Amino acid sequence: MEKIYVTRTSMPEFEEYIDAIKPLWESHWLTNMGMYHQQLEQELKEYLGVSGISLMVNGHLALELAIQSFGFPKGGEVITTPFTFISTTHAIVRNGLKPVFCDVKADGTIDEAKIETLITKDTVAIVPVHVYGNICDVETIDKIAKRNNLKVIYDAAHAFGIKYKGLGIGSYGDASIFSFHATKVFNTIEGGAVTFNDAEVYERLYNLKNFGIRGEETVVSVGANAKMNEFSAIMGLCNLKNIEAAIESRRIAYECYVEGIRKINKVSIISNDTADNRNYAYLPVLFSGEELRNRVYDLLKEQGVYSRKYFYPLTSDQECYGGQNNNSDISVARSLSSRVLVLPLYEGLQIETVKRILDIINALVVE
């Protein structure tokens, strides 16, 4: 039986990639901000509709270094959400900062109405997540941040190519991060980027991603190594050529799911219509209860369909955080987490497969 996973990596034709990497055998220049790194930065700046971008080795380090670039005092508090991939919370904690968990709304994004109740004298930043590509209320968050003198760093790992009021989603806040991991809408095998408006952020990130080296004998600051290499940059250039077709293929499968799910009781899709466009990154469905969600997950698995409980458990409930940070009310996040299931969605997913998945769910729900 063919196994269907929740995602499948978009790849260029083999020959296309091989042709594209050939020049590396002449130049012997495989990393260190080579010409393909620079070219991908330019092309992504345009595609993402942002004024500044810095490519990184992955999305996680993009977030860690983006946070680090603002030089927050250790022990500072960061308002974020627990309904996300563990990377978001880790990036805060690994910067020596304390995550303060804010509840989310029905679309999975941070509940901006609850942010201010969590602000204390120690709060330094807000790290919201455009979860599943559903964008946050960036305008209200901006007002809250200005009023309270806080930085906003968006985890936009799911929001590749999304625009809001004509601007790239990565233009909002003080910085945003994207992930180009193999499982995402757009990939560079592993990779990521930080986007920002302030050109100075570029300089600080450059130092953080390349050991603070500014000359043969000059190190200006303490830095890590988080550069994207040329093989990854070329993978990105190839995949970017095909991005419209990849998203269109996802859209067709997504619409088929939408139509099917509309007819099934006790199941709905988690989404909002805030952004100018969608990238069809994920197909998150919400069941009426946890038991039904778990039964659907198990039955799909028995039939070779590997859905994922994104995001369950909440990051705040993971063993490494021991529930210790859980003082605020995160009941909506908890409710979503217990009932959500992300179904397979990727470029090239067959409509027959979508229908088969819908049939399996339907059979269980009406049972």
Ligand X SMILES: *Cc1c(COP(=O)(O)O)cnc(C)c1O
Closest alpha carbon to 66 in 51, 75, 56, 76: 56
**Residue of 187, 202, 166, 200 lying closest to 48 (CA atoms):** 166
Cβ of 75: how many Cβ atoms within 10 Å?
A: 10
Q: Does 88 bind ligand X (CB under 6 A)?
A: yes
Does 173 interact with ligand X (rule: CB under 6 A)?
A: no
Counting contacts by CB under 6 A, is residue 186 touching ligand X? Answer: no
Indicate the residue among 256 and 283 with the shorter CB distance to ligand X: 283
Which residue's CB atom is positioned nearest to ligand X? 59
Rule CB under 6 A: say whether 282 interacts with ligand X: no
> Judged by CB under 6 A, does residue 192 bind ligand X?
yes
SS3 (DSSP) at 51: coil
The closest alpha carbon to 299, from 256, 210, 355, 359, belongs to: 359
- Binding pattern to ligand X, positions 107-146, x when CB under 6 A? ----------------------x-----------------
Smallest gap from Cβ 309 to ligand X, in A, equals 14
Q: Which of residues 147-166 bind ligand X (CB under 6 A)?
A: 155, 157-158
Of residues 129 and 253, the one with the C-beta less far from ligand X: 129
* Distance in angstroms between the alpha carbons of the first and the last residue of the chain: 25
Q: Where does this chain touch ligand X (CB under 6 A) — which range of 54-62, 64-72, 99-107, 319-327?
A: 54-62
State in angstroms the smallest separation of the CB of 59 from ligand X.
3
Distance CA 131, CA 328 (A): 20
Closest CA to 340 of 283, 285, 281: 285
**Residue 14 carries which side chain, given as an amino acid letter?**
F
Residues in 209-268 that interact with ligand X by CB under 6 A: none
Beta-carbon-side half-sphere exposure of residue 75 (alpha carbons within 13 Å): 2
Which residues have C-beta within 8 Å of that of residue 334, sequence separation ≥ 6? 314
**Closer by beta carbon to ligand X, 297 or else 311:** 311
Residue of 69, 87, 188, 338 interacting with ligand X (CB under 6 A): 87
Of positions 12, 40, 60, 171, contacts ligand X by CB under 6 A = 60
Which residue in 10, 68, 84, 316 binds ligand X (CB under 6 A)?
84
- Token duo for residue 304: 């070779």
Subset of 316-335 contacting ligand X (CB under 6 A): none
- Both tokens of residue 176? 């945003």
Q: Which is nearer to ligand X, 181 or 278 (CB)?
A: 181
Two tokens at 92?
Answer: 């805060």
For residue 98, the minimal CB distance to ligand X (Å) is 19
Nearest-approach distance from CB 120 to ligand X, in angstroms: 25
Cis-peptide, bond into residue 311, ω within 30° of zero? yes
Is 167:138 a contact under the CB 8 Å cutoff? no
Asked if residue 195 binds ligand X (CB under 6 A), the reply is: no
Give the count of residues interacting with ligand X (CB under 6 A).
14
> What stretches of the chain show up as alpha helix (H) in DSSP?
14-21, 23-27, 35-48, 59-68, 86-93, 138-148, 199-209, 230-241, 243-262, 290-302, 331-339, 351-366
Of the candidate residues 10, 58, 109, 176, the single one contacting ligand X (CB under 6 A): 58
User: Closest approach of Cβ 337 to ligand X, in Å?
Assistant: 14
Determine if 179 is a binding residue for ligand X (CB under 6 A): yes
Interface ranges with ligand X (CB under 6 A): 58-60, 84-85, 87-88, 129, 155, 157-158, 179, 181, 192
